[in-house]
Structure 1
Amino acid sequence: MSGNSSNTPFLQSPNSSYTTGKKRTFDETFVEEPKPGNQQHNRASSFSSELEMLRSILPPRPTSDKFRLVVRQQPVAARACGFGERDRRVIDPPPIVQLVAADPADPANEGGIKYPWNVVHCTLYNVAGTADETALEQQDKRLTRRLMGTLVSSPFVGQDENGKEGCFFCFPDLSCRTHGKFRLKFALMCLDPNAEPSTFTRVTTEVMSDVFTVYTAKEFPGMRPSTGLTKALKRQGCAISVKKGNEKATTQQASPQEQAAGEDENNGGEEEESEPEQETTGRVYATGLKEVDMDKAQVGISSVWYSGNPCNMHLLDLNHKVKQGVEQAGLVGYQFNTIGVSDAISMGTSGMRYSLQSRDLIADSIETVMGGQWYDANISIPGCDKNMPGVIMAFQAYGEYITGTIDEKTRFDIIRHACPGQGACGGMYTANTMATAIESMGMTLPYSSSNPADSAEKAAECLASGWAIRNLLEKDIKPRQILTRSAFENAMVVVNITGGSTNAVLHLIAIADSVGVKLTIDDFQSVSDRIPFLADLKPSGKYVMADIHRIGGTPALLKYLLEHDLIDGSILTVTGKTLAENLEKVTGFPKDQDVIRPLSNPIKPTGHIQILRGSLAPGGAVGKITGKEGLKFQGKAKVYDAEDLFIEALERGEIKKGEKTVVVIRYEGPKGGPGMPEMLKPSSAIMGAGLGNDVALITDGRFSGGSHGFLIGHIVPEAQEGGPIAFIEDGDEILIDAEQRKLDLLVDDAVLAKRKAAFVQKPLKYNKGVLYKYAKNVADASHGCITDS
């Protein structure tokens, strides 16, 4: 976990979220079909709460009493363009309107001026300003437009000719078909990006231009040179033309034929003026920055995008949407990428050794770019660091295939159809565990962890992240101010409430270390002792993350926990508000939902994460005890020095049903693996083979969030370091007692001492490359497997 990142405003939002297998575009109105039975409720209510929260991050929409329009550049003259497209002649100079605060001294108005969905609409009026002249009735009684060109302008935030920043609306290509005297009326409208289609938007404020003249070709005096304001906005990237001008001293100095010829030659005087090349030495100008951008904060937008994994393949699209939001917030967004490893693809292979170490590599790479490029803030877009649910189904199907429960054709059909599309794991596996925990810590925008990957809400969240990071910069809020001890307490509570992955123990300890918060495995036990297990979510339950989304999302869960004093609402969040303030207007759970049990009827009265110690794990071990697998297990050891050796033994039928067996898979720890691979394939194969009641599995490796059964991992010290797990032999009696939190090897001390004396440490599996460096530097599992201690 990156050390320097804690000193930079940072927003881990939006994460990839989970897949639903159903695509929506940002422009679609979100309509969620109600689930049959007791899950049916009004989804629109929670969706509107989410939109209200997102709007609170954006600058306030301007109101007529606080803002007004000013015509900064008045139209003066134009040549009537007639009815041929080639004859179009623009109004000169191009009208430019500026939105200003009625009270410039009030700093609260600044955000409204830069509201990204402001638009200004232009119409043509008579000299008195009483009649709309935009439409023109022709001889055949048909109506056509008298005013041509772009009639609606979006905001351009830049500096005027005096270097003062403002919000401008430019109309560079307006032209009028008939001669006469007119005025232009400009109306400001503040759109709602999440409004229903065809929603009526009221005019906020209006302004009328001075009178200008549209001449005939014979009378037109020619184009004026561009003004200083036009040139200044052009230099900053505004889509407006700069002209040299061909204005005549008097209209009598040239014949009509000469005037027309001169205008045709110069395209009506619209020849663009060549700007002198700017002499700069900074390479940032080569990236497209203008002078005005040099004073803007630069935001590094990092994503764990790669096309080889459904969890990550859509993150580049989200990255582009976040960049759009950043730029709408008046900041500069620089996109970059980092690497990722698909646990679902690497599971059960030597590739899994690269999974855990990629966590630190990702953190180091983001820190390297952020520090080396000296960016002011970071928005990171992570994908799933664990498996898609389809792979879990496929692995469990493998156990059923071995025992003959299903045939090869059925197994292949499961594999082929298990993964519906982009997004992370559907259940409370590691990705959703960490996403939910991080939201409870205040490090993501509300709803980020429960919004589906391809939903309209996720797109809106991406846009809102730009204003959120601007707010963090302006208030100078750093990750260390958010990631407090109380924030980690919240995370541990949520992990236990939801039945989350044991990987959270590793990851939260590592994150805490990066910001100087002391977090130990005993802290997890302390929280687990007082917090019940409430969420009926896969892999141990029947619901998935889409069901959390359906009943109000993660904020509804957090509000429930806050109302019962189980989490701290006073912690600061990336919205700049406290967690409690974020949740004020969130609607609670529907009364008939059963995804989250009430405190009066928990799945388990205490948490599922149990820290065990004993003669087999003097440095600690982590168990995921949901209750359905029992609380105590004793059996004879079957020892395997690698994951693959166990799978081969299972295929040979060495593990017998009806015999209490403790499978020991060792030399799979942080150093011995190396990389502490997940034992999802062995655990799923055990369950699929119908051995869940007869077999417990212990290992110095770790488990996927999708694993279930009687499982104990993270054993410290690991076998590679000469821990007691290295001394176990086939037939030894092993006791796992979750109530007493004991993990003991029931062998005489004298026998154990003899085995320890005879122990010879195995050489590391790699002597070069990234896995060698990782094995040499990694800390043990009880200390989060960090690499910079």
Structure 2
Amino acid sequence: MRRSEKILQRPDFSFNRSVYKSMGFSNNDLRKPMIGIANSWSELVPGSYSLKNVGEAVKRGILAAGGTPVEFGIIGACDGTAQGNEGMKYILPTRDCIANDVETMVQAHQLDGIVLLGSCDKIVPGLLMAAARLDLPAIVVPAGPMLGGREFDGRPSDLTSMSEGCGMLKAGKIGEDELNDLEDSCGPTCGSCSFYGTANTMCCVAEALGMVLTGGALIPAVYAERTRMAAATGEAIVNLVNKGITSRDIINEKSLENAIRVLNATGGSTNGVLHLLAIARELGISSTVMLDKFKKIGESTPLVAKVNPASKYNMEDFYHAGGIPQVMREIEQKLNVEVMTVSSNTLAEELNKKTYGKINREVIKTIDEPFSTFGGIAIVEGNLAPNGGITKPSAIKKEMHLFKGVAKCFNSEEEAEEAILAKEIQPNDVLVIRYEGPKGGPGMREMYKAMKYLYGLGLAESTAIITDGRFSGTNNGCFVGHISPEASECGPIALVEDGDEITINIPCGEITLHVDDETLSQRKQKWIKPKKEIPSGILRLYAKLASSANEGASMVIDEEE
């Protein structure tokens, strides 16, 4: 007996039936599988703006397959609007809020299955966390990426071009008229941003996990195919319910390994590490196990795809080049192809389907002739990051994979940005931006603007940034984020002083502070945690419960408590 049947039987649950009937549902509706649609649609987020129509297409598919759709709204915030201000502190915590909301609605109403609609940075991870937690039939439907804008600085522009343009304006490279024109043309359609940032990374990761219909991650938001895929998803979820295939039949250690492979093979966002750790936690898989997988898989996975910010090609180009299915075909020998997908076929069966169109080898290479022999994500460790840090070799020029410089320390993102725009940063500086970790921020903000300003000022290839905060998937230059332990926990990053030498050695997976242990011990004894006002509400809760970045930075209540 289905979950919904148990609470809709007569006469004991006639009250429940009357609740549905008060909204116009019929006896026939209540006999069918009750399929929830968790929709993050809003008029605040371009990646969610089209989801009202996508949701309607999903409903059509559910009805066609013999189910009853019941839609509800969930929150979804825009990283872009929140960049470089206090709003960014709220972005990562929304991931837990979304997972909790979906869990609450599905369990309170005993739904039989759930379709999860979202496209943006923390929305998709939150949806996947909920799916893993609930272990019910579930499918993710992305809204799809937006199209690229007019050419700027030698490539199609995107929303992040505005920050680069601000740096160029400050440097006198462009005028205000050109910047204003760019503002009108860099985001020509709705959808998740047209570069390979965290939003599109997590949609691709969801497909690699088997949680999106094959090929569904990268169909542009404005394409009719996106609507057809949404309707097909509606049919597919009813099929999963009828067959009893649940999310944990799909999301497991083997499919997580596939997701890590694809993340590395495509040079996805460093945030993908954070989110996969959090998803794995929902399954009871430890961060130690996952980080070991990241190390081993990263070292053995070639980079076969390059997309903006690693190249001039945007997400529409990636889609036409073959997208995630083609990437997975190129590295198939390294994948666990026996895993189940939401199509109810194995990954092997999905990848064996006939392909159409011509592969663009400037976007997707073969496994024998990749862009590089190692993956796009790397974990670095050392006396500056005992529990690790995350970097992105695919977004860093090869000559900067070994970088040695002098520390210039800032205790917030704003301090660093002011110094950059005041032209206080010099070549060979390593900007240390701290107290921006999960607890210390709180909220683990992205140091997006700092990197973009350095790019605009022509310093991206001669400086580096290290932080206990995060980076946007669109950032490039030399950077290491997620440094753990974080500064607010008196991690070594809190003890760095201006003038200290720091070496980032990506090939060796090392980050080193060239200060002896005795000196660091003396500094630790004198360390005083900076006072920071934390507003009541979700930020205070997050600051109290957030785990370390190397554990996924999700809100956790200790078993003992």
TM-score tier, shorter chain, comes to 0.7 to 0.9
Residue 775 (1) aligns with residue 511 (2): no
Q: 1:576 & 1:748 partners in 2: Cα distance? A: 56
Tell me which residue corresponds to 1:293.
Answer: 29
Question: Where does structure 2 lack aligned partners over 5 or more consecutive residues?
Answer: 5-13, 123-144, 147-156
Which residue is 2:410 aligned to? 640
Match of 1:559 among 318, 324, 329: 329
Q: 1:592 to 1:651 in 2, by over 3 A?
A: closer
Residue 679 of structure 1 aligns to which amino acid in structure 2? M
Match of 1:599 among 361, 367, 372: 367
> Conserved in 2, the CA contact under 8 Å of 1:390 and 1:415?
no
1:444 Cα deviation from its structure 2 partner: 0.9
Task: Output the TM-score relative to the length of structure 1.
Answer: 0.63
Tell me by how many angstroms 1:366 deviates: 0.8
| Matches of 1:426 and 1:285, distance apart in 2 | 43
Q: Within 2, Cα distance between the matches of 1:623 and 1:279? A: 55
Distance in 2 between the 1:391 and 1:433 partners? 16
CA apart distance, 1:364? 0.8
Equivalent runs, 1:745-764 vs 2, <5 Å: 745-764=513-532
Aligned equivalents of 2:190 and 2:23: distance in 1? 31
Task: Tell me the alpha carbon deviations over residues 305-360 of structure 1, each in whole angstroms, 9 at most, x when there is no partner.
Answer: 11012111111111111112111211111110111111111101110111111111
**Quick check: 1:698 aligned with 2:434?**
no
Match of 2:232 among 464, 476, 479: 464
Structure 2: distance between partners of 1:301 and 1:592:
35
Letter paired with 1:499? G
Q: Any idea what SS the aligned residue of 1:380 has? A: strand
Q: Alpha-carbon deviation of 1:8?
A: 9.4
C-alpha contact 1:306 1:312 (8 A) present in aligned 2: yes
Q: Give, in whole Å, the separation in 1 of the partners of 2:27 and 2:215.
A: 37
Indicate how the Cα distance of structure 1 residues 280 and 677 shifts in structure 2: closer, same or farther if over 3 A, else same: closer
Q: Which string of whole-angstrom CA distances, capped at 9 and with x for unpartnered residues, describes residues 203-262 of structure 1?
A: xxxxxxxxxxxxxxxxxxxxxxxxxxxxxxxxxxxxxxxxxxxxxxxxxxxxxxxxxxxx
Report 1:315-326 matches (<5 A): 315-326=51-62
**What are the equivalent positions in structure 2 for 1:202-221 lying under 5 Å apart?**
none
Residue 553 of structure 1, CA deviation: 3.4
Q: Distance in 2 between matches of 1:8 and 1:602?
A: 48
Structure 2 CA distance for aligned equivalents of residues 777 and 576 of structure 1: 37
Among candidates 383, 408, 428, match of residue 615 of structure 1 = 383
For the Cα contact (< 8 Å) 2:465–2:479, is it kept in 1? yes
- Residue in structure 1 matching 2:349, options 581, 585, 588: 581
Residue 129 of structure 2: aligned partner: none
Q: Which residue of 2 aligns with 1:399?
A: 167
CA contact (8 A) 1:528 1:608 kept: yes
Q: Would the aligned equivalents of 1:520 and 1:782 in 2 still touch at CA under 8 Å?
A: no
Deviations 1:74-107, CA, capped at 9 Å, x for gaps: xxxxxxxxxxxxxxxxxxxxxxxxxxxxxxxxxx
Change (3 A) 1:496 1:647: same
Cα 1:676–1:303 shift into 2, 3 Å: same
SS at 1:334 equivalent: strand
Match of 1:537 in 2: 307
Kept in 2: contact 1:8–1:377 (CA 8 A):
no
How far did residue 293 of structure 1 move?
A: 2.3
Q: Which amino acid aligns with 2:52?
A: L
Matched AA of 2:486: E
* 1:372 to 2:98 alignment: no
- What is the number of equivalent residue pairs in this alignment? 511
Contact 2:38 2:102 in 1 (8 A): yes
**2:242 is equivalent to residue 474 of structure 1:** yes
- Measured in 2, the distance between the counterparts of 1:574 and 1:475 equals 11
Q: Which is strand-richer, 1 or 2? A: 1
Match of 1:548 in 2: 318
Q: How does 1:194-343 map to 2 (within 5 A)?
A: 282-343=18-79
Question: C-alpha separation between the residues in 2 aligned to 1:665 and 1:373?
Answer: 45
Q: Structure 2 CA distance, aligned partners of 1:551 and 1:534?
A: 12
> Which one of 499, 503, 506 corresponds to residue 735 of structure 1?
503
Q: CA deviation at 1:281?
A: 6.5
Letter in 2 for 1:604: S
Superposition map of 1:165-176 within 5 A: none
Name the amino acid aligned to 1:282: S
* Equivalent pair of 1:305/1:383 in contact (CA under 8 Å): no
Letter in 2 for 1:672: G
Structure possessing the higher radius of gyration over alpha carbons: 1
Is residue 331–residue 367 contact of structure 2 (8 Å, CA) maintained in 1? no
Paired with 2:329 and 2:71, the residues of 1 have a C-alpha distance of 34
1:628 to 378, 392, 397: 397
Q: CA deviation at 1:664?
A: 0.6
Which residue of 2 is the match for residue 361 of structure 1?
Answer: 97
Q: Displacement, 1:592?
A: 5.9
Match of 1:486 in 2: 254
| Contact 2:330–2:367 (8 Å) recurs in 1 | no
- In 2, distance between residues paired with 1:439 and 1:644? 36
2:198 maps to a residue whose letter is T
Shift of 1:498: 0.7
CA apart distance, 1:409:
1.9
Cα separation, partners in 2 of 1:279 and 1:679, compared to 1, 3 Å: closer
Q: Give the Cα separation in 1 of the matches to 2:32 and 2:418.
A: 60
- Secondary structure of residue in 2 paired with 1:633: strand
Report if aligned partners of 1:302, 1:380 keep a CA contact under 8 Å in 2: yes
Classify the secondary structure of the residue corresponding to 2:482: strand
Q: 2: CA distance between counterparts of 1:421 and 1:549?
A: 16
CA drift of 1:516 comes to 2.6
SS where residue 714 of structure 1 aligns? coil
Equivalent of 1:714, from 462, 477, 482?
Answer: 482
Q: Tell me if 1:511 matches 2:279.
A: yes
Shift of 1:279: 9.6
Q: 1:434 is matched with which residue?
A: 202
| Aligned mates of 2:235, 2:42 — CA distance in 1 | 27
Deviations 1:285-312 (A, max 9, x none): 1121222222211011011111012111
Equivalent-residue separation in structure 1 for 2:510 and 2:495 (angstroms): 18
Which residue number corresponds to residue 338 of structure 2?
570
Secondary structure of 1:520's aligned partner: helix
Q: Is the 8 A contact 1:484 1:517 kept in 2?
A: no
Residue type at the aligned position of 2:74: T
Give the match for residue 149 of structure 2.
none
Taking the aligned partners of 1:508 and 1:393, their CA distance within structure 2 comes to 28
**Residue of structure 2 equivalent to 1:127:** none
- Which is richer in helix? 2
Contact conserved, 1:672 with 1:765, CA < 8 A, in 2?
no
Code of the residue aligned with 1:650 in structure 2: it is I
Cα shift readout 1:94-143 (whole Å, capped 9, x = no counterpart): xxxxxxxxxxxxxxxxxxxxxxxxxxxxxxxxxxxxxxxxxxxxxxxxxx
Partners in 1 of 2:3 and 2:222 — Cα distance? 29
Flag the 1:557–1:749 CA change in 2: closer, same or farther, 3 A: closer
Q: 1:418 aligns with which of 174, 186, 193?
A: 186
Percent pairwise identity: 37
What TM-score, normalized to structure 2? 0.88
RMSD: 2.0
Residue 400 (structure 2) pairs with residue 664 (structure 1): no
3-state SS in 2 of match to 1:287 = coil
The farther-off stretch of 586-595 and 444-453 is 586-595
The 1:669/1:343 distance shift into structure 2, 3 A limit, reads same
Distance 2:72 2:190 in 1: 21
Moved more, 661-670 or 426-435: 426-435
Name the aligned partner's letter for residue 539 of structure 1: P
**What aligned pairs does 1:446-457 form with structure 2 within 5 A after superposition?**
446-457=214-225
Distance in 1 separating the partners of 2:481 and 2:214:
32
Query: Which segments of 5 or more consecutive residues in structure 1 lack a partner in the other structure?
Result: 1-6, 10-277
Asked whether the 8 Å contact 2:119–2:200 carries over to 1, the reply is no
